[in-house]
C-alpha cells in the first residue's frame, strides 16, 4: 500500500486552515462543497476529530462496497483498514494533524479499506482544519480507485505471465510456472492437470471427443502448504500418478471441451461435483478438512489450432486449471475469469510448444540410442564401457556418438564424435557419419587417412544441406590400439584429446594435436603414436565434459575409477552422475576402454623365403604350432589358408614375406605380410584356369572374417580369422 505525507511539494498552512467557515463568513458554503464532492461517483468525505474518530461522513454506500459510517459511533478511521495497515495509516493522519501540511492523493497513492463487499482501494486526500475554538480536526476525501487498481493489477499479472510462463520447453515446469503466476494474485490455490498424452508429446483428444478426460496432476501452487491426507500431489507424468477426473458427467465435459469455464460457489456445490464422496473430496479439494466457504473456477487448457482459418480443426484439450479461493467475500467475478482465461490461453501455447518439443526430443533420443553401439564390449585388445546423457537445454539433442570397432589382427578402433546441429537431423546425420566410420575402418585405414576420407564425406554432405542442417564443424577422434605392440595411433578432427589413466592411477591428456573440424575443405590430420601399458584406461569424450569447474577431468576420471573399484561402467556413470543439471547444455558421451595385451606365447611370426618351396615349410610350422596350442581341429583348414596366402605372397608380391599366427580365447588369426601394395581381388576363376582361387578358397574356409590392410611403408597384410569354438550342428 502506497502512502503520501507532508513534503516539499505541499503548501504550508494558510487561510484555508481557519475552520470550515468560508471567506465571507458563511459556513453553509463549505458544507455545500463537501456535499457536492460526496455526490460525485466514487467520492466520499470523512470528518475526523483529533483522535482520528469519525464525527461525520458524506458518501454513497453503493460506491463504497456497502460501507456505512454513522456519526457519533466512535468509529476510528483506522478501524476501517486491514490490521496490518493500521499503524501506517494512523501515522500518516497524525503527521497531517501535527504539521498542517496537507496530503494530496495521486493515482499511484492508494490505501486499502475493509467493506462488506471486500477490500477496496481508495486515494486519500487529508486536510487539517481548525474550528473557531482552535481545535484541530481532519477532513479526508476518499476516491474509490478499486477498479483502476484492479485493472492495473490484472495488466501487471498478464505482463508477469508473459515473462514467466514458457521459459523452458518442459511441460511440468511450464505447468508449475502457470500455477506460480496465478497464486496469490488471482487465487489461493492453483491446480494444473494435464492430459495423459502430453509428457510423451502425443496429441491428446480433440475438443470434440467424448468420455471422461484422462488427466494427471502436473503442478500446484503454493507447493509447500499442508494438504488433506490423501490429497493427490503433483507427479512428473501420468505414469506416476493418475488423477480421478474432477470434471464428471457428459454435460460438464461437453461444456468444458467447448472452451467454456464453470464456477462453483460454496462447499456444497463444490463437493457435489465429486459426488460428495469423502475420499474423493479429500483427494481433489485442497481445503477438504477446513471450514468456511469455497469457490472454484475451472478453466480449460485448449489449443486454438483451427479458428476461422481452419474451422474443421477444433484444437486439443491439453488439460484443466482449477482456481480455488477461500472465504465468502471473494467469489470470482467476470474480470477475474477473463484474466484467468487470458493467462491460461497464453500458457496453453507454451504447453503445446513444449509437447511438440517433447515429441521431437523423444524421437531424436530413440533414433540416437538405436544408432549407438552396445554400452559395453569385450575384445582381445580392450574392454569398453560407455554412457550417453542427452542435453537438457532447449536446443535439443545433439549428434554425439562413440564406437568400439574390432579390426584385423585383434586390434581395436576407438571412436568419439560430435555432429554439428541438434534434433532429428543431427541424430540422422550422426547415423550416416558413424556408418561411414565403420565402413572406412573395415578398410583398415590409418587414423589420419580415415579422417581425411571422412572429411571429404562431410564436405559433400554440407554442400547439399541447409545452413542450419549442415554437418560442417563436426568433430571426430579416431584411435587404433594394437594389443601385440601395445601401441596406440590417434588422430583428431577438432575433437578434444583423449585421456590416459595409467594402472598406477596417474592420469593426463595424451599429446594429440587436433586438426580442423570436419567439413573444412582439404586438410591433413597428424597422427600421434603413444605406448599404453596393459591395464591403461583410455577415455574418449565429447565436449559436454569440457570446461566444467572444479577438479580437472583427468583427476575426476581417476577418482571415479578408484571409487568404482576399477569397474568401467560404474566409473563412467559416476562421472556423469556428478554433473549438475545446469552443465548439461550439450550432449555428454564418455567411452572408457581398458587396454589388454596379447601374451608373447599367443603369437608367432616366421619370415618366409621368396621361394615356392617355402610353402611346405610354412604349412609344417603351422601344424606344429597348432598342436602346441591344442588347436588340432583347425589344422586342415589352417594349412589350406596358410598355403594359399603364402603362395600368393611369394608369387605376386614383393619381399619381405612374413607369416604370423595370433591366438586368443575364441579366434585364430593367420596373417601374411609382404612388401607390395597391389591389392588382391576375390574372383571366381574359370573351370579351365590353373590358379586364381586362393582368396575364394580362403573365404569359403574361414568361419569368421578376412581382409587386406596396408601400412605406411607401402606393404600390405592379408589376414583371415577363424573361430576356435567347436561347431555344433545341434
Burial group, residue 370, by CB count within 10 angstroms (0-12, 13-18, 19+): exposed
Sheet holding 317-326, edge to edge: 215-221, 189-195, 317-326, 294-302, 262-265
* Chain segment 196-238, per-residue pLDDT in tens: 888 777 877 665 455 556 788 889 999 878 888 888 888 766 6
pTM of this structure: 0.66
Residue 691: closest CA among 676, 680, 704 = 680
CA distance 701 to 352: 60
Query: pLDDT by residue (tens digit) across 586-600?
Result: 788 899 999 999 999
> What stretches of 559-656 adopt beta strand conformation (E)?
588-595, 603-608
For the chain, what percentages of helix, strand and coil (3-state, to nearest 5) are there?
A: 35, 25, 40
For residue 523, what are the CA distances in angstroms to 181, 386, 440, 459?
Answer: 55, 30, 17, 11
288 Cβ contact list (under 8 Å, min separation 6): 228, 231, 281, 282
In the sheet with 399-406, reading across from the earlier edge strand, the strands are 399-406, 412-419, 475-482, 487-493, 528-531
Strands (E), 266-411: 294-302, 317-326, 376-378, 382-389, 399-406
* Nearest of 117, 116, 125, 104 to residue 150 by alpha carbon: 117
Q: How confident is the model at residue 493 (pLDDT cuts 50, 70, 90)?
A: very high
| Cα 722 from Cα 664, distance rounded (Å) | 11
> Which CATH class name applies to 374-595?
alpha beta
Q: What is the CA radius of gyration of the chain?
A: 42
Provide mean pLDDT across the span 328-350: 87
Write out pLDDT tens, residues 626-681: 999 999 999 988 998 899 889 888 988 888 999 999 998 889 999 999 988 877 66
Spatial separation of the C-alpha atoms in residues 481 and 441, rounded to whole Å:
13
Residue 307 has pLDDT above 50, yes or no: no
CB 256 within 8 A of CB 300: yes
Region(s) of the chain under CATH 3.30.450.20 = 15-144
Say what the pLDDT of residue 466 is: 65
Question: Which comes out higher in pLDDT, residue 432 or 586?
Answer: 432
Q: Taking the mean position of all CA atoms in its chain, how far away is CA 381?
A: 37
CA distance 372 to 375: 8
In the three-class reduction of DSSP (H, G, I as helix; E, B as strand; rest coil), residue 115 is classed as strand
Greater pLDDT, 331 or 24: 331
| 232, three cell numbers | 493427490
Q: Note the CATH number of domain 151-362.
A: 3.30.450.40
pLDDT at 7: 36
CB 514 within 8 A of CB 468: no
> Confidence band (pLDDT; 50, 70, 90) for 454?
very high
CA distance 642 to 163: 75
Assigned architecture for domain 15-144: 2-Layer Sandwich (3.30)
If you average pLDDT over every residue of the chain, what do you get?
A: 81
Q: Which of 35-44, 296-305, 474-483, 568-577 has the highest mean pLDDT?
A: 474-483
Residues forming CATH 3.30.450.40 domain(s) in the chain: 151-362
670 three-state secondary structure? strand
Mean pLDDT check: name the lowest of 349-353, 357-361, 467-471, 479-483.
467-471
The phi and psi torsions of 367 (rounded to 5 degrees) equal: -65, -45
Q: Cis ω on the peptide bond leading into residue 184 (within 30° of 0)?
A: yes
Task: Say which residue, 427 or 92, is predicted with more confidence.
Answer: 92
Contacts of 311 (CB under 8 A, 6+ apart): none
CATH of 600-723, one of 3.40.190.10, 3.30.565.10, 3.40.50.2300, 3.30.930.10: 3.30.565.10
Cis peptide before 569 (omega within 30 of 0): no
* Residue range(s) occupied by CATH 3.30.565.10 in the chain: 600-723
Could you tell me the pLDDT band of residue 551, with boundaries at 50, 70 and 90?
low
Amino acid at each position: 500500500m502506497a502512502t503520501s505525507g507532508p513534503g516539499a511539494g505541499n503548501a504550508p498552512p494558510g487561510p484555508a486552515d481557519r475552520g470550515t467557515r468560508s471567506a465571507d463568513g458563511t459556513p453553509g458554503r463549505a458544507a455545500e462543497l463537501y456535499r457536492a464532492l460526496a455526490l460525485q461517483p466514487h467520492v466520499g468525505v470523512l470528518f475526523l476529530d483529533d483522535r482520528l474518530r469519525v464525527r461525520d461522513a458524506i458518501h454513497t454506500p453503493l460506491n463504497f462496497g456497502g460501507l456505512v459510517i454513522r456519526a457519533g459511533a466512535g468509529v476510528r478511521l483506522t478501524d476501517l483498514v486491514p490490521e496490518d495497515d493500521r499503524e501506517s495509516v494512523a501515522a500518516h493522519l497524525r503527521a497531517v494533524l501535527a504539521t498542517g501540511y496537507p496530503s494530496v492523493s495521486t493515482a499511484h497513492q492508494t490505501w486499502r479499506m475493509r467493506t462488506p463487499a471486500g477490500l477496496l482501494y481508495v486515494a486519500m486526500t487529508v486536510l487539517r482544519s481548525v474550528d473557531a475554538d482552535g481545535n484541530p480536526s481532519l477532513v479526508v476525501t476518499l476516491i474509490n480507485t478499486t477498479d483502476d487498481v484492479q485493472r492495473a493489477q490484472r495488466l501487471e499479472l498478464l505482463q508477469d505471465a508473459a515473462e514467466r510462463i514458457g521459459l523452458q520447453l518442459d511441460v511440468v515446469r511450464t505447468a508449475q510456472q502457470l500455477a506460480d503466476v496465478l497464486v496469490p494474485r488471482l487465487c489461493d490455490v492453483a491446480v494444473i492437470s494435464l492430459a495423459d498424452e502430453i509428457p510423451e508429446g502425443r496429441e491428446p483428444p480433440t475438443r470434440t471427443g467424448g468420455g471422461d478426460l484422462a488427466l494427471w496432476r502436473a503442478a500446484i501452487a503454493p507447493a509447500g502448504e499442508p494438504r488433506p491426507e490423501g490429497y493427490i500431489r503433483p507427479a512428473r507424468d501420468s505414469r506416476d500418478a493418475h488423477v480421478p477426473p474432477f470434471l464428471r458427467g457428459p454435460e460438464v465435459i461437453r461444456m468444458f471441451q467447448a472452451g467454456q469455464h464453470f464456477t462453483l460457489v460454496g462447499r456444497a456445490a463444490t463437493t457435489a461435483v465429486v459426488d460428495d464422496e469423502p475420499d474423493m473430496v479429500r483427494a481433489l479439494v485442497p481445503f477438504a478438512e477446513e471450514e468456511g466457504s469455497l469457490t472454484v473456477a475451472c478453466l480449460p487448457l485448449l489449443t486454438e489450432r483451427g479458428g476461422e482459418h481452419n474451422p474443421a480443426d477444433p484444437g486439443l484439450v491439453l488439460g484443466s486449471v482449477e482456481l480455488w479461493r477461500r472465504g465468502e467475500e471473494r467469489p470470482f467475478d467476470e474480470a477475474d475469469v477473463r484474466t484467468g482465461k487470458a493467462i491460461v490461453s497464453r500458457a496453453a501455447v507454451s504447453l503445446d510448444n513444449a509437447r511438440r518439443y517433447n515429441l521431437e526430443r523423444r524421437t531424436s533420443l530413440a533414433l540416437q540410442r538405436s544408432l549407438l553401439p552396445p554400452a559395453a564390449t569385450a575384445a582381445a585388445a580392450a574392454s569398453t564401457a560407455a554412457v550417453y546423457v542427452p542435453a537438457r537445454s532447449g536446443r535439443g539433442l545433439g549428434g554425439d556418438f562413440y564406437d568400439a570397432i574390432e579390426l584385423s589382427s585383434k586390434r581395436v578402433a576407438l571412436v568419439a564424435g560430435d555432429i554439428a546441429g541438434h534434433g532429428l537431423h543431427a541424430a540422422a546425420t550422426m547415423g550416416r557419419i558413424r556408418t561411414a566410420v565403420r565402413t572406412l575402418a573395415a578398410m583398415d585405414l590409418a587414423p589420419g587417412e580415415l579422417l581425411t576420407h571422412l572429411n571429404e564425406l562431410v564436405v559433400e554432405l554440407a554442400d547439399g544441406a541447409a545452413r542450419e542442417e549442415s554437418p560442417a564443424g563436426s568433430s571426430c577422434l579416431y584411435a587404433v590400439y594394437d594389443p601385440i605392440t601395445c601401441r596406440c595411433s590417434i588422430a583428431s578432427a577438432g575433437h578434444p584429446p583423449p585421456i590416459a589413466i595409467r594402472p598406477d592411477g596417474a592420469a593426463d591428456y595424451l599429446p594429440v594435436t587436433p586438426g580442423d573440424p570436419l567439413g573444412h575443405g582439404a586438410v591433413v590430420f597428424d597422427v600421434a603414436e603413444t605406448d599404453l601399458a596393459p591395464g591403461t584406461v583410455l577415455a574418449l569424450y565429447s565436449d559436454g565434459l569440457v570446461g566444467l569447474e572444479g577438479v580437472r577431468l583427468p583427476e575426476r576420471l581417476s577418482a571415479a575409477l578408484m571409487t568404482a573399484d576399477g569397474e568401467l561402467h560404474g566409473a563412467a556413470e559416476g562421472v556423469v552422475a556428478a554433473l549438475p543439471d545446469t552443465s548439461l547444455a550439450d550432449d555428454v558421451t564418455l567411452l572408457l576402454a581398458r587396454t589388454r595385451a596379447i601374451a608373447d606365447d599367443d603369437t608367432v611370426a616366421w619370415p618366409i623365403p621368396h621361394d615356392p618351396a617355402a610353402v611346405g615349410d610354412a604349412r609344417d610350422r603351422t601344424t606344429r604350432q597348432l598342436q602346441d596350442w591344442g588347436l588340432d581341429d583347425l589344422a586342415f583348414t589352417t594349412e589350406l589358408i596358410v598355403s594359399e596366402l603364402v603362395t600368393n605372397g611369394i608369387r605376386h608380391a614383393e619381399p619381405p614375406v612374413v607369416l604370423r599366427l595370433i591366438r586368443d580365447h575364441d579366434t585364430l588369426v593367420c596373417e601374411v605380410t609382404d612388401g607390395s601394395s597391389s591389392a588382391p581381388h576375390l574372383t571366381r576363376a574359370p573351370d579351365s584356369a590353373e590358379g586364381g582361387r586362393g582368396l575364394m578358397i580362403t573365404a569359403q574356409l574361414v568361419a569368421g572374417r578376412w581382409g587386406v590392410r596396408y601400412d605406411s611403408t607401402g606393404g600390405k597384410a592379408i589376414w583371415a580369422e577363424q573361430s576356435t569354438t567347436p561347431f555344433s550342428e545341434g
